[in-house]
Amino acid sequence: MTSKDTGRFPAATSILALISIPIFIGALDLTVVSAVLPHVIYDLEIPLQSGLDNAAWIVSGYLLSYTIAMTFMGRLSDIHGRRRIYLLALAIFAAGSYLVAVADGWPTTLALRGYYLVASGRPDISQIALTMIIVARMIQAFGAGAMVPVGMALVGDLYPPGQRAKPLGFIAAVDTAGWVVGHLYGGIVVRFLDWRMIFWLNLPICLLAFALIALALRRLPQHEKASRMDWLGALLVSISLGALTLAFGSGAESGIILTAGESVSRPIVQWPLLFIAVAFLLLFIWRQARAKSPLIALPLFRRRNFSEAGVVNLFVGFSLFVAIVSVPLFINTLVAETIDQGAWDSGWMLSALTVPMAVAAIPSGWLTDRFGYRWPSISGMILAIGGFALMTQWRADTTYGTMIPHLVMAGIGFGLTITPIAAAVVNTAEQEYRGSASALVIIFRLIGMTIGVSSMTSYGLQRVSTLSASMLQPGSSYEEMVRVGIEVAERVIGEMFIIAAAVCILAALLLYRLRNLEEARRDSDG
């Protein structure tokens, strides 16, 4: 291809392919631990009942660090150049991968020595080893989370506004594909090899990618700015996002199981943490309004495409996670006969949602370049609404063959939507704030996912409790309890799909207000 075909830089397509490889590996490692976690617990001899909550931080810690990295690493790339920050993020990810692989070796020994210096008594070595794995995973996630917004900002540097949607769609597809196949990849590796090999395999890939990317980007203009990094703003927004993740995530992980007539013994939302999140968000906004070089320029939110695409990203994350939570819940509650079958079937059935989503993100870029932001994204939301509407008809006797087309429809809908709204945000922001704006695309989606899983868990538990109490009479037979249980589960899961469809309708209404590229430019100039 010529430079005209590929963007403003002759090697744009090659660079896009290279930067996508580490992004894929980072997304892969987000979900790969679903296969690793049982082996870690077994190898470290962690008591299942007392240690499972702590072990869950191998997942939660990764997501938390992944989100926090996005808050300011994109902005650092605006100031110090994409090449330098992307390579730094890749190096951090590789270092974290190494530390996870050896965490129960010399890092644990080093931590034990530190423990003996400040404390007395006999420490729990397995818990210290687990802590080292969690810390290493958070280091790994920090690098992975930084690569996504910096990679998206690189697309903005490499391609002119009218040609950005396709490469952004490719990055979205790669990122989605990573966390889609992560659990499958992890399952294959741990079936034949030690779980640590997953992280050892990252190292040669990262080393090769580092060398090739450093070489490919050596002639790319860095556009370094004299601006200073707003570290206070970065700290404030990191605390806000961390508290928000913990506020919703801690309740969602509580695993409360209600029977008829019982009430929720532990809140799904941890309200003090939510208060802290809101307070620090307000402090962050106050800081950004007064900082000489803010982390994100608040006037960007006055631009229709920027603000409304951000809200749509939140809605997409919310409704997508309703499906990701509800499908396994439906299968395990109403279809599968054993836990093992439920886990296996849920994984494959979710692929019917997520694989089409990843695939559809690529042609969505072509459609966006040809028809603008509005109609490809609205078409996607209509498909998602249709998919959720069909899912409301699922019953205990619904076959997988019936469910798959509904999931595929919703998945294609989400895939058609995520590319144009990402392009709308990236194209709206000036180059000076392109990195931080790219980060907001993912951050809004992650916030939507976090709120979605917690709020729907809370809603589902309360509805099950209320409906069971109203439908079951004292002294009901076992057969009657089973019948009511099935009916309640069908009804509650159907209601959750209705809520997801309603959120998608709100998103479609906002998408209708998106302006095309030329209108958005006039909006920015004004």
**Per-residue pLDDT tens over the stretch 461-509:** 788 888 888 887 777 787 888 888 889 889 999 999 999 999 999 999 9
Site of tokens 């034949």? 192
CATH for the stretch 1-228: 1.20.1250.20
Contacts of 280 (CB under 8 A, 6+ apart): 236, 237, 239, 240, 243
Query: What pLDDT is stored for residue 251 in this prediction?
Result: 41
What is the percent of the chain where pLDDT is above 90?
32
Contacts of 431 (CB under 8 A, 6+ apart): 78, 156, 157, 223
Q: Write phi, then psi, for 124 (nearest 5 degrees).
A: -85, 105
Q: Using CA atoms, how far apart are residues 162 and 326, in angstroms rounded to an integer?
A: 38
Alpha carbon 389 to its chain centroid, in Å, reads 24
Question: Counting Cβ atoms within 10 Å, is residue 453 exposed (0-12), middle (13-18) or buried (19+)?
Answer: buried
393 pLDDT above the threshold of 60? yes
Q: Using CA atoms, how far apart are residues 524 and 520, in angstroms rounded to an integer?
A: 6
CATH for the stretch 294-526: 1.20.1250.20
E strand segments, 178-236: none
pTM over the 0.85 mark: no
Token pair, residue 191, equals 């079936």
233 pLDDT above the threshold of 60? yes
**Per-residue pLDDT tens over the stretch 420-430:** 998 888 888 88
Query: What pLDDT is stored for residue 185 in this prediction?
Result: 82
**First-last CA distance in the chain:** 36
User: Between vectors from CA 41 to CA 264 and to CA 270, what angle results, nearest 5°?
Assistant: 25
What is the 3 state secondary structure string of 79-136?
HHCHHHHHHHHHHHHHHHHHHHHHCCCHHHHHHHHHHHHHCCCCCCHHHHHHHHHHHH
Query: What pLDDT is stored for residue 268 in this prediction?
Result: 60
Contacts of 413 (CB under 8 A, 6+ apart): 360, 379, 380, 381, 382, 383, 384, 385, 386, 387, 504
254, 267 contact by CB (below 8 A): no
Residue 72: which of 221, 327, 273, 242 has the closest Cα? 242
Which of the pair, 32 or 519, is modelled with greater confidence? 32
Query: What pLDDT is stored for residue 253 in this prediction?
Result: 39
Q: What is the dihedral angle through the alpha carbons of 189, 195, 196, 202, rounded to the nearest 10 degrees?
A: 30
Question: Counting Cβ atoms within 10 Å, is residue 213 exposed (0-12), middle (13-18) or buried (19+)?
Answer: buried
**Per-residue pLDDT tens over the stretch 54-84:** 666 777 788 788 888 888 888 888 888 889 9
Q: Using CA atoms, how far apart are residues 386 and 448, in angstroms rounded to an integer?
A: 20
Query: What pLDDT is stored for residue 249 in this prediction?
Result: 60
Q: Using CA atoms, how far apart are residues 334 and 127, in angstroms rounded to an integer?
A: 37
Q: With bands split at pLDDT 50, 70 and 90, how would you rate the model's confidence at 139? A: very high
Residue 457: which of 315, 256, 242 has the closest Cα? 256
468, 485 contact by CB (below 8 A): yes
Query: What SS3 class is residue 193?
Result: coil
Which of the pair, 346 or 17, is modelled with greater confidence? 17
Question: Counting Cβ atoms within 10 Å, is residue 290 exposed (0-12), middle (13-18) or buried (19+)?
Answer: exposed
Q: With bands split at pLDDT 50, 70 and 90, how would you rate the model's confidence at 88? A: very high
Q: With bands split at pLDDT 50, 70 and 90, how would you rate the model's confidence at 4? A: very low
What is the rounded average pLDDT for all residues in the chain?
83
Q: Please report, for residues 97, 158, 182, 251, 445, the alpha-carbon distance to residue 361 in angstroms, rounded to integers and kept in the order given.
A: 29, 19, 19, 32, 15
For 372-477, where are the alpha helices, taking DSSP H only? 374-391, 400-428, 434-471
For the residues 375-395, what does the mean pLDDT come to? 95
User: Between vectors from CA 441 to CA 435 and to CA 444, what angle results, nearest 5°?
Assistant: 130
Residue 31: which of 411, 351, 406, 439 has the closest Cα? 351
DSSP 160: -
Percentages of the chain per state (helix, strand, coil), in multiples of 5: 80, 0, 20
Alpha carbon 185 to its chain centroid, in Å, reads 18
For the residues 306-317, what does the mean pLDDT come to? 91
Query: What SS3 class is residue 268?
Result: coil
**Per-residue pLDDT tens over the stretch 190-211:** 878 888 999 999 999 999 999 9
CA atoms within 13 A on the CB side of 287: 19
Which of the pair, 179 or 399, is modelled with greater confidence? 399
Token pair, residue 398, equals 């619904």
Q: With bands split at pLDDT 50, 70 and 90, how would you rate the model's confidence at 48? A: low
**Could you tell me if residue 124 is left (phi over 0), alpha (psi between -120 and 50 degrees) or otherwise beta?**
beta
Please report which helix (H) or strand (E) contains residue 167, including its range. helix 165-192
Which of the pair, 513 or 383, is modelled with greater confidence? 383
Q: Which amino acid is at 240?
A: S
**Per-residue pLDDT tens over the stretch 451-464:** 887 777 778 878 88
**Could you tell me if residue 266 is left (phi over 0), alpha (psi between -120 and 50 degrees) or otherwise beta?**
beta
